Amino acid sequence: METDSMKIPAWTASEGAHRARELFGEAFPELGRPSGVWASPGRINLIGEHVDYNGGVCLPIALPHRTYVALRPREDTRIRLISDEGDAPRWEGDLSAVKPDGGIPSWVAYAAGVAWALQRDGYAVGGFDAAVASCVPLGAGLSSSAALECAMGLALDDVYGFGLAASPAGRAELVAACISAENDVVGAPTGGMDQAASLLTTKDHALRLDCLTGATTQVPFDLAAQGLAILVIDTQAKHSLVDGQYGQRRALCERVAAEEGVETLRQLPDPAATLTRLTDPEAVRRVRHVISEIERTEEFVELLTKGRYGELGALMDASHASLRDDYEVSCPELDTAVEASRAAGAWGARMTGGGFGGSAIALVEERNLDATMAAVAQAFMDNGWRGPRFLQATAAGAGCRVSKEEAL
């Protein structure tokens, strides 16, 4: 089976910048060039799923796939936006229209919502013209929305001179503004891991993100040196976080935490006692996932730190089983991707991201990459499903400016 054509390539920085700049020039010919181009990555999460909104620990890496934003500030408060998606949607409106329940299209809320959040936080954001080009697959559970928010955040931070991207504390503020764009302006009750992954990661490292304290640790992550690779399998099955399933789970976790007198499930003084006390079997399953997933993530970090790569796969497998059986956020396509890659020799595999479709990841020996892709594609064909798409995840760096066109 020809596997190369099934792989989604990552643009180089100059290719991405070129595409965004070209789109900007076509959409706003009277302006000439943008002030610059900024890019921010999508992510996969190695382990620690559905724990960010429970104060847990997750371990994302940034993908080499990024969203590019070419932007120029305006003297007034108008916003003009264009995206390279599908039929190149355009939007034009006033900054004041970008707000919670503003009735704007959701892609505009993702893109411009961060301007609203920065303004609310006291930063004097004005209008802007922007063009968006992206090679992060959409709807694949790889955080294309966070990549867009973060690229926009970096652009606005730079052109309006806030200087947030220059320091870790400033970047944490940008992360918060991007999360607020998603939670408040888009209305998706997500937990914040994706924006942190896009803005706080370091190349060749996984990001240990403690969602209770906000503390971050860069964990060396160099699989190639071990002859290993992470294969990402985009099942192309539907994935939506706004359709209620995600919010229901989050609400249940928050309800149990409140009943136990703590703010998050991470803070349960005696998790085993809570599990015994719970009478609703659904609540037992959900809480059991959260507690066990946080433990698995800590263990994964420890194994990684000690270079015990051979033991990582079992934790990924256990994580998938827990997400499938206890948290119930997997689906037949994800289970098949996981099972087929394991049958083809993967050391471990699991769904990554929110679930209900989207992507799975498999830890594979580099020399088995092609065979694993072929086996998964075959399994999808046998089920009569649309072919999956693949990409190889290497730990890339956080978002940054990729091109400066003129003095800002």
CB neighbour list of residue 67: distance below 8 Å, 6 or more residues apart? 39, 40, 41, 42, 132, 133, 134, 135, 136, 144, 147, 148, 150, 151
Q: Does 55 bind ligand GLA (CB under 6 A)?
A: no
How far apart CA 296 and CA 310 sit, in angstroms, is 15
* Contact string 91-130 vs ligand GLA (x = CB under 6 A): ----------------------------------------
Out of 134, 144, 180, 190, point to the residue binding ligand GLA (CB under 6 A): 190
Q: What residue spans of 12-68 are helical by DSSP H?
A: 13-27
Residue with tokens 């998050």: 264
Catalytic one of 52, 129, 157, 194: 194
> Of the two residues 341 and 359, which places its CB atom closer to ligand GLA in the complex?
359
> Of the two residues 36 and 358, which places its CB atom closer to ligand GLA in the complex?
358
Nearest CA-CA partner of 357 in 246, 265, 206, 252:
246
Backbone angles phi, psi at 210, to 5 degrees: -90, 110
Q: Is the dihedral of CA 360, 364, 367, 371 positive or negative?
A: negative
Q: Does 137 bind ligand GLA (CB under 6 A)?
A: no
Q: Does 193 bind ligand GLA (CB under 6 A)?
A: yes
Q: Does 149 bind ligand GLA (CB under 6 A)?
A: no
Out of 16, 137, 353, 388, point to the residue binding ligand GLA (CB under 6 A): 353
> Of the two residues 299 and 405, which places its CB atom closer to ligand GLA in the complex?
299
Judged by CB under 6 A, how many residues of this single chain contact ligand GLA?
Answer: 13
How far apart CA 334 and CA 354 sit, in angstroms, is 12
CB of 58 to ligand GLA, least distance (A): 6
Q: Does 42 bind ligand GLA (CB under 6 A)?
A: no
Q: Please state whether beta strands 128-134 and 60-73 pair in parallel, antiparallel, or not at all (unpaired).
A: antiparallel
Starting at the edge strand found earlier in the chain, the sheet holding 78-83 runs 90-94, 78-83, 128-134, 60-73, 36-45, 400-404
CB of 236 to ligand GLA, least distance (A): 17
Element (H, E) at 248: helix 245-259
Which range binds ligand GLA by CB under 6 A, 30-38, 154-162, 191-199, 309-317?
191-199
| Cβ atoms 388, 359 nearer than 8 A | no
* Contact string 226-265 vs ligand GLA (x = CB under 6 A): ---------------x------------------------
Q: Does 50 bind ligand GLA (CB under 6 A)?
A: yes
Q: Does 271 bind ligand GLA (CB under 6 A)?
A: no
| Cβ atoms 127, 74 nearer than 8 A | yes
Structure tokens of 395? 């730990």
CB of 271 to ligand GLA, least distance (A): 19
Residue 270 is among the residues annotated as catalytic for this protein: no
Q: Would you name the residues annotated as active-site residues?
A: 194
Give contact residues for ligand GLA (rule: CB under 6 A): 45, 49-50, 52-53, 190-194, 241, 353-354
